[in-house]
Each structure stands twice: as structure tokens, then as C-alpha cells.
Amino acid sequence: MSTADDGPRRLEAVIHGDVQGVGFRFHAARAAARHGIDGWVANEGRGTVRAVGEGPTGALSAWLDELREGPPGAHVSGVDVQWAAATGGFNGFAVRSGAHSGD
């Protein structure tokens, strides 16, 4: 999916499994920092974690690999993924509460 002339992309992932209360949001934030991704991550009321990131396709793919793995103590049973064009609306990466309002 990655090519040298890719512009920024947006990745939205909903992570399913035992992913709350195990440090998943901070795992996602550290991985985003390693890959130079801007966006956010938050727990959702249904027991999932939503992660939204923007950056180069290759960096987002590497980040997605880390989301699929999860931190020690997590069990990821599935990840719903959506790709889109970047909005450019992020400056850095935030760990949000479940009461966030989205972008």
C-alpha cells in the first residue's frame, strides 16, 4: 500500500478484545510517537479502543501492526480498519478519555 510519493493518509482503527485496563492507549501513543503519527486514541463504552492517526502510509501500516499486537496483558481479537485521506487537523498525538467528541 505504501509508495514513495504517497501523501499523508488517515487510519481509523477500532480494536476489539481485552484492550481496556491494560495500558493499550499508552501503548498506542508510544507507537504513534515512534512512527511520527498525529492523532488520538480513546476507550469506547462498548469495551473497544478507537485509534485515529494521520501520517505517511508506511508509518501508519507499521503503527497498525503494533495496534494489532497490543501491549503485554492485552488480547486483541480483531481490528476494524478504515483508510481515508488525511484531514490535517491534528498537531501531535493525544490520549483521550471515553467522553471525547471525536475530531
Q: Are 96 and 41 in contact (CB under 8 A)?
A: yes
The structural architecture, per CATH, of the domain 9-96 is 2-Layer Sandwich (3.30)
Residue positions annotated with a catalytic role: 25, 43
| Structural Rg of the chain based on CA atoms | 13
The one-letter code for the residue type at 64 is: L
**Among 12, 7, 25, which Cα is nearest to 79's?**
12
- Identity of the residue numbered 54: E
pLDDT confidence tier of residue 97, bands split at 50, 70 and 90: confident
| Residue that wins the pLDDT comparison between 2 and 25 | 25
Give residue 3's pLDDT: 44
pLDDT confidence of residue 1: 43
State what percent of residues in the chain have pLDDT above 70.
88
Please write the tens of the pLDDT for every residue from 69-90: 999 999 999 999 999 999 999 9
